[in-house]
A and B are shown apart, each in its own frame.
Chain A
């Protein structure tokens, strides 16, 4: 499998630059997920890799081979499209074998490959049907099968699950995760769904406004986001952000704002010199909160007014208010409390992230 390298690749449409020059390395055999809100440039990146969009500048390398001038068919890639892009006039077997038939592969080989992949995906009984006769989930499998039959070194997925209903989507997600483990292929996967990104990606590349914000494993992105955008994008429910001002009291760095006053972790004080008076944004994940017990007294505590409680089974999501701001709190559902009243919550000080107010970088 080749190692894929984007070397200051950029894309503009006319005078509008959608992707400023960027570098990106994808290791061989890696499952890379490009994730970000719509319009962040992730699909364009994938389509440039596929050869469906022309690079405005820069080069893409497969190992030592520049590929940006090659036709899609010469790049040794297979692709699964968001709307499946099956050929409506061909039956499933013909759909899956189209590439092989164009390459004039012997019929026996084609039949063998198609039936092997079809069995693997559980679609062997559909081979003689037309795409119009299949349900969304089946079409999705066929699209996957068509890519697998090719036996290319690199697989590209352009939001392949976003047209499925929630239940089917999570099932296909699991199957994809299994497939990732059994196939030794490069996979590049585009999605706007951070859950998909977290479950599937060996490496997750978070993009926004045409820029790569951060790349790393799911855990790195969750625990060590480089900026406010990544922190807010990864994780569900999303992180709470609070405006605060820093002050130093008796050697402890304290962030205070509308309705709260939280001491921060010791290492942060060392990182920030002369932080007193600095305006910052605090980030606290909903799962970091728990109801305070008497032992927490004097630690990081917040008094929150509980507006709404949403029972989700094992978890409970509270919509609370702190001063004028809304905060989401996630608790185990066995926790007892009173809706419509205030309660004191404890937050471990090492779980509080601090972002610069203007650059939004994590401090």
Chain B
């Protein structure tokens, strides 16, 4: 009996170290954060000394205009950048999915921005946006236009930040969309040509619908990432002017380091986490549904 039990237990024994790492490395910090969000906790205190205040952090945050503004900025930022990046990335992929000389070089150049560290991207754009010595304003002045207050005007700052993010992350959409395009069945596209579809009609009726599963997952991944963006904006505007570019991650960071309210910061992180969780679950459900559908199709096909 002992041998049999041992045999059955073996896989779990082997899994145990990994499970332990998971618990310590993943669940402990999250649990810690959730716990902290119920505290009124100043960094000078040890966590045991902090006062338990229940859900007050969460309630207060909902009534906090700055937090709500920051939430709004985050949603606006994420939805705009992801829409723009999807449009540009997919568009570029559709353009470059062909055999022309030097296309391999072009593709490589396009994905370079993605490989640069976000801090560097932030610094680079901050210099380019510089009101007097930045390349944009100097060029505008050379052409006889008024300089634009890229980062110092509340109306322009978010646009500037969005441009930088689009610049950095469009390549991500581009390479995934290109991979999806190149795995499309060639003969179906040829059939569409014979059926009389113009280049546009091929894109709209055949290519895009067939790429859709990949595009949806790509958009969700990008959306999750966009909600957490921090470094580029931190370096470029530090959330300003005013609260115009203060996305949630930045506000969490400032709440913890400047306002020294660890409990509030934790509660804020939890709101962000919940938002991301909704997206992740949405993606998970989408995957499950498509898998189930594919399985059902296969079954029906086998039955004849």
Contacts and interface: CB of A to CB of B under 8 A. Distances in A.
A132 B188 contact: no
A52 B193 contact: yes
Interface string B177-220: 00000000101101111111100010001100110100000000
Contact of B298 (A51, A85, A87, A132): A132
A310 B106 CA distance: 61
Nearest to A103: B196
B297 interface: yes
Contacts of A51: 193-194
Contact of B191 (A81, A89, A132): A81
A88 B192 CA distance: 12
B195 A71 contact: no
Contacts of A73: 193-197
Interface residues of A, number: 31
Given A81-B187, A85-B188, A89-B209, A132 B194 contact: no
Interface in B159-188: 185, 187-188
A79 B192 CA distance: 10
Nearest to A73: B196
Interface residues of B, number: 24
B203 to A, nearest CB: 13
A67 B240 CA distance: 63
Nearest to A139: B301
Given A86-B188, A88-B188, A102 B195 contact: yes
Interface in B285-304: 294, 297-298, 300-302, 304
Most chain A beta-carbon neighbours within 10 Å: one of B192, B294, B301: B301
A83 B195 contact: no
A286 B302 CA distance: 41
A99 B304 CA distance: 27
A98 B192 contact: yes
Nearest to B184: A88
Contacts of B301: 132-135
B297 A83 contact: no
A50 interface: yes
A306 interface: no
Interface in A26-57: 50-52
B20 to A, nearest CB: 43
A146 B73 CA distance: 51
A133 B300 CA distance: 5
Most chain B beta-carbon neighbours within 10 Å: one of A51, A52, A71: A52
A134 B300 CA distance: 7
A99 B195 contact: yes
A87 B191 contact: yes
Given A88-B210, A133-B300, A135-B304, A83 B187 contact: yes
A326 to B, nearest CB: 40
A130 B297 contact: yes
A102 B300 contact: no
A132 B297 contact: yes
Contact of A52 (B190, B201, B210, B298): B190
A89 B302 CA distance: 19
A138 B272 CA distance: 50
Interface in A76-106: 77-79, 81-89, 98-99, 102-103
A86 B195 CA distance: 11
Interface string A132-151: 11110010000000100010
Most chain B beta-carbon neighbours within 10 Å: one of A52, A87, A135: A87
A72 interface: yes
A84 B301 CA distance: 15
Contacts of A87: 188, 191-192, 205-206, 210
Contacts of B212: 89
Nearest to A132: B297
Interface string B226-245: 00000000000000000000
B108 to A, nearest CB: 23
Contact of A77 (B194, B298, B302): B194
Interface string A107-136: 000000000000000000000011011110
A89 B210 contact: yes
B210 A78 contact: no
Contacts of B298: 132
Contacts of A102: 195-197, 201
A85 B185 contact: yes
Contacts of A150: 195
27 contacts: A50-B190, A51-B194, A52-B193, A52-B194, A71-B193, A72-B190, A72-B194, A73-B194, A73-B195, A79-B194, A81-B187, A81-B191, A86-B188, A86-B191, A87-B205, A88-B185, A88-B210, A89-B209, A98-B195, A98-B197, A98-B205, A99-B196, A129-B300, A132-B298, A132-B301, A133-B300, A138-B304
Given A52-B194, A79-B191, A88-B210, 8 more contacts: A50-B190, A86-B191, A87-B188, A87-B205, A88-B188, A99-B194, A132-B297, A133-B301
Closest 10 CB pairs of A and B: A73-B196, A85-B187, A99-B195, A132-B297, A85-B191, A133-B300, A89-B209, A72-B194, A81-B187, A72-B193
Interface of B: 185, 187-188, 190-197, 201, 205-206, 209-210, 212, 294, 297-298, 300-302, 304
Interface of A: 50-52, 71-73, 77-79, 81-89, 98-99, 102-103, 129-130, 132-135, 138, 146, 150
